[in-house]
């Protein structure tokens, strides 16, 4: 009866709604997906046929995953994310990427790196391009080196070789991974919003 759960169309539809509502609280998002799944089940059960074409029609009436996701985000009081200029995004993400080489400058390095990171965090929060949840995650990842770098250094200093320059460099590189992940996620999300904006204006 419920063999349409294997339907690639239904699966892809729900997966896209899920992906585009990742900013919603988990319970709200689960409820939305459950409602959509139930709707598809019931609509199929009430239809005379259960072929691919019927499934397509049901999904068509539900509307584009983007429209459903936007409606869900709007209900939660989230303003629709608005793309900022690509240049502004590039500067923000550039500051994040720059903080590693900056950190390696003797003496003033860590201070410069911290300044670049804090500036990037402020720019992320000022932008309407990312939702709150994305901003929170990015902030944690971006500021993590402040804790992670000394932690790795302490671990290294407890090992036989002590804190060598190579070990310190390795610590910096490892600690720098979370900010890179943050930059990549912010970039992907920004690119997606620009694409949606371009489609809406077309």
The distance of closest approach from Cβ of residue 67 to another protein in the complex, given in angstroms and rounded to an integer, is: 5
Figure out which of the listed residues 53, 61, 79, 202 binds another protein, where binding follows CB under 8 A. Answer: 61
If the CB atoms of residues 50 and 177 are measured against another protein, the closer one turns out to be: 50
If the CB atoms of residues 53 and 158 are measured against another protein, the closer one turns out to be: 53
Q: Judged by CB under 8 A, does residue 22 bind another protein?
A: no
Which one-letter DSSP state was computed for residue 176?
T
If the CB atoms of residues 70 and 134 are measured against another protein, the closer one turns out to be: 70
Count of residues that bind another protein according to CB under 8 A? 32
Which is it for the CA torsion 112, 143, 100, 116, positive or negative? Answer: negative
Pick out residues in 31-50 that bind another protein (CB under 8 A): 31-32, 35-36, 38-39, 41-47
CA distances to 134, 171, 177, 178 from 140, rounded to whole Å, are: 10, 18, 12, 9
If the CB atoms of residues 53 and 160 are measured against another protein, the closer one turns out to be: 53
Residues of the shown chain interacting with another protein in the complex, contacts defined by CB under 8 A:
1-2, 17, 28, 31-32, 35-36, 38-39, 41-47, 57, 60-65, 67-68, 70-72, 74-76
């Amino acid at each position: 009866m419920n063999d349409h759960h294997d339907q690639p169309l239904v699966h892809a539809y729900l997966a896209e709604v899920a992906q585009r509502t990742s900013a919603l609280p988990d319970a709200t998002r689960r409820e939305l997906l459950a409602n959509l799944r139930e709707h598809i089940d019931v609509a199929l059960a009430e239809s005379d046929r259960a072929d691919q074409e019927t499934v397509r029609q049901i999904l068509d009436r539900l509307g584009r995953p983007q429209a459903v996701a936007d409606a869900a985000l709007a209900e939660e009081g989230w303003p629709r994310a608005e793309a900022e200029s690509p240049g502004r995004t590039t500067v923000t993400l550039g500051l994040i990427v720059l903080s590693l080489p900056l950190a390696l400058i003797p003496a003033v390095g860590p201070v410069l790196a911290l300044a670049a990171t804090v500036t990037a965090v402020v720019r992320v929060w000022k932008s309407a391009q990312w939702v709150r949840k994305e901003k929170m995650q990015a902030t944690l990842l971006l500021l993590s080196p402040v804790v992670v770098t000394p932690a790795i250094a302490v671990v290294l200093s407890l090992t036989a070789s002590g804190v060598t320059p190579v070990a310190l460099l390795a610590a910096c590189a490892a600690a720098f991974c979370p900010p890179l992940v943050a930059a990549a996620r912010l970039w992907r999300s920004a690119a997606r919003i620009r694409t949606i904006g371009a489609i809406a204006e077309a």
